[in-house]
């Protein structure tokens, strides 16, 4: 429907004001800038970091690293956790450990942070972008199954893309904004096609699917503790796995593949300097102590948003998918087609009012380095979400503000 210019401006203005009103209703009026996701250091962070400095154990050896790894394994139920320098490094290792080789193709959702694609490329492999589901905002396992049955064949090397002749060697779902992907569907497909599942669980620490933690379903998974994630170590990440061999190799590869010895420097393959420093792990140990509480608060905050947007037509608050409990890392709303054209005005209005809001990432296949990468032709849902989604302030402390 086309309105005259003046009327369009009025509608645009009203919608932006309505969204601002709902955000204010959910998290309160502010006179200072509210970031999208703010780190919080309200526990033992200072004590533990001081301990590192006082003892001199700040770098790639020290007791906090192991303590943090044990804590992560206990919290998620993964058998092994290996702490790394950042989430991108963890995902790179995870792909290597899943067996991704140069020249392979790896299935990646079109909607994700660029690291999901970059790490595939670091392996010398090629990301192959696929459609997401409107319900989970993660990979659509049904669409993927019919797509793969159309474009692949099984030959002695394994599953092969008929068009490119390249082997497909892994599926990398990403649990968008903390909402678990359709894990049942993806696991079924991964078993049927004998392809390892590598979860990019960077955003989903604390999210569960049928009661089990994200990051524990795949052969191997990656977490991130960047400054804007649910817990932070400044920079940091972790590889999760239930496989002892993979865990050993993750640690070996992340520590330059050096064979343990008191003084000799012998490396038995090309490794990486990807180990998390002790001083970062010290922060991590303190943050882990707060994690359960923060996930609860973030879920409460999501309820507040849900209530505030409930009666606004044409705008949908993104709720956790069925069978899942989300950590609601980033809250999000989706504008319907009519409102989507006003997205930038809404973003402008929120940011000017000191509520940080942003659109989602540019779809990966639209980025310059991936413009020629293989991709599903029909990715209408990803395209639509790319134009109509807005992320809203999501720090756990916003659930504590008196409204
Ligand atoms: C944050 C993030 C990463 C990478 O984490 P870093 O610690 O910033 O390297 C990877 N994938 C996704 C989806 C992320 O959100």
* pLDDT confidence of residue 9: 81
Same domain, 147 and 273: yes
Instruction: Provide mean pLDDT across the span 256-285.
Output: 96
Q: CA 237 to CA 81: how far, in whole Å?
A: 10
Q: CA 3 to CA 9: how far, in whole Å?
A: 9
pLDDT range class, residue 136, cuts 50, 70, 90: very high
Instruction: Provide mean pLDDT across the span 313-327.
Output: 97
Same domain, 252 and 334: no
What is the 380 CA–ligand 1 centroid distance (Å)? 25
What is the 113 CA–ligand 1 centroid distance (Å)? 7
Mean of the per-residue pLDDT values of the chain: 96
Same domain, 90 and 204: yes
What is the 224 CA–ligand 1 centroid distance (Å)? 6
Same domain, 357 and 244: no
Say if residue 324's pLDDT is above 70: yes
Q: CA 402 to CA 15: how far, in whole Å?
A: 25
Say if residue 257's pLDDT is above 80: yes
- Domain boundary among the residues 269, 288, 307 is at 288
Using a 6 Å cutoff on CB, does residue 87 contact ligand 1?
yes
What is the 268 CA–ligand 1 centroid distance (Å)? 29
Dump strand ranges (E) for 291-353: 315-317, 324-325, 331-335
- How many independent structural domains does the chain possess? 2
Say if residue 2's pLDDT is above 70: no
Write out pLDDT tens, residues 9-36.
888 889 999 999 999 999 999 889 999 9
Same domain, 187 and 106: yes
User: Which ligand 1 atom is nearest residue 88's CA?
Assistant: 9
Using a 6 Å cutoff on CB, does residue 112 contact ligand 1?
yes
> Domain span at residue 195?
45-288
Say if residue 1's pLDDT is above 80: no
User: What is the strand order of the sheet 324-325 is part of?
Assistant: 212-213, 208-209, 324-325
CATH code, domain carrying 260: 3.40.640.10
Same domain, 209 and 325: no
Q: How far is the CA of 166 from the CAs of 59, 115, 161, 372, in angstroms?
A: 41, 22, 5, 15
Write out pLDDT tens, residues 225-251.
999 999 999 999 999 999 999 999 999
* pLDDT confidence of residue 357: 98
* pLDDT confidence of residue 403: 56
pLDDT range class, residue 203, cuts 50, 70, 90: very high
Write out pLDDT tens, residues 346-389.
999 999 999 999 999 999 999 999 999 999 999 999 999 999 99
What is the 150 CA–ligand 1 centroid distance (Å)? 31
Tell me which of 48-62, 81-95, 185-199, 387-401 is least confident: 48-62
Same domain, 322 and 241: no
Tell me which of 53-57, 149-153, 357-361, 375-379 is least confident: 53-57
pLDDT range class, residue 402, cuts 50, 70, 90: low
- Domain boundary among the residues 253, 288, 323 is at 288
* pLDDT confidence of residue 13: 81
**Do residues 385 and 359 make contact, with C-beta atoms less than 8 angstroms apart?**
no
Same domain, 146 and 191: yes
Same domain, 117 and 265: yes
* pLDDT confidence of residue 396: 97
Same domain, 156 and 55: yes
What is the 87 CA–ligand 1 centroid distance (Å)? 5
Using a 6 Å cutoff on CB, does residue 88 contact ligand 1?
yes
Same domain, 283 and 347: no
CATH code, domain carrying 396: 3.90.1150.10
> Which one of 39, 173, 200, 361 would you pick to mutate in the ligand 1 pocket, going by the greatest count of ligand atoms within 8 A of its CB?
200
Instruction: Provide mean pLDDT across the span 307-315.
Output: 96
Selection from 290, 297, 296 nearest residue 48 by Cα: 290
- Domain boundary among the residues 259, 288, 317 is at 288
Using a 6 Å cutoff on CB, does residue 115 contact ligand 1?
yes
Instruction: Provide mean pLDDT across the span 281-286.
Output: 98
Query: Half-sphere exposure (CA, 13 Å, Cβ side) for 130?
Result: 25
Q: Whose CA is nearest to atom 7 of ligand 1?
A: 87
User: Which ligand 1 atom is nearest residue 91's CA?
Assistant: 10
Same domain, 170 and 310: no
Q: Kindly state the percentage of the chain with pLDDT values over 70.
A: 99
């Amino acid at each position: 429907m086309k309105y005259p210019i003046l009327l369009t401006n009025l509608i645009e203005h009203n919608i932006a004001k309505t969204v601002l009103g709902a955000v204010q209703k959910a998290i309160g009026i502010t006179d200072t800038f509210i970031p999208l996701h703010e780190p919080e250091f309200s526990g033992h962070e200072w004590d533990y970091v001081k301990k590192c400095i006082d003892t001199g154990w700040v770098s790639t050896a020290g007791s906090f690293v192991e303590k943090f790894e044990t804590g992560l394994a206990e919290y998620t139920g993964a058998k092994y956790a290996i702490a790394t320098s950042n989430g991108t490094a963890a995902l790179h290792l995870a792909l290597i450990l899943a067996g991704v080789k140069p020249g392979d193709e790896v299935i990646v959702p079109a909607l994700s942070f660029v690291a999901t694609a970059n790490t595939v490329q670091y392996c010398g492999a090629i990301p192959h972008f696929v459609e997401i589901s409107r319900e989970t905002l993660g990979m659509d396992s049904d669409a993927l199954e019919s797509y793969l049955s159309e474009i692949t064949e099984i030959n002695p090397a394994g599953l092969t893309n008929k068009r490119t002749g390249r082997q497909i060697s892994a599926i990398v779902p990403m649990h968008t904004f903390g909402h678990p992907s359709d894990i049942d569907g993806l696991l079924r497909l991964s078993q049927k096609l004998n392809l390892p599942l590598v979860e990019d669980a960077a955003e989903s620490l604390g999210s569960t699917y049928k009661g089990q933690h994200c990051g524990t379903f795949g052969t191997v998974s990656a977490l991130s503790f960047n400054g804007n994630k649910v817990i932070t170590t400044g920079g940091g990440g972790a590889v999760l796995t239930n496989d002892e061999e993979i865990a050993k190799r993750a640690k070996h590869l992340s520590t330059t593949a050096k064979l343990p010895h008191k003084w000799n420097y012998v490396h038995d393959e090309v490794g990486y300097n990807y180990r998390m420093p002790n001083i970062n792990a010290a922060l991590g140990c303190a943050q882990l102590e707060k994690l359960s509480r923060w996930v609860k608060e973030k879920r409460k905050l999501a309820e507040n948003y849900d209530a505030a947007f409930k009666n606004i037509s044409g705008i949908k608050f993104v709720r956790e998918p069925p069978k899942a409990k989300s950590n609601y890392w980033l809250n999000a709303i989706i504008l319907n087609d009519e409102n989507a054209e006003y997205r930038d005005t809404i973003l402008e209005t929120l940011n000017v009012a000191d509520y940080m809001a942003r659109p989602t990432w540019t779809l990966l296949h639209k980025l310059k380095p991936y413009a020629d990468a293989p991709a599903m032709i029909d990715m209408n849902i990803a395209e639509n979400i790319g134009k109509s989604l807005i992320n809203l302030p999501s720090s756990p402390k916003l659930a504590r503000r008196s409204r």
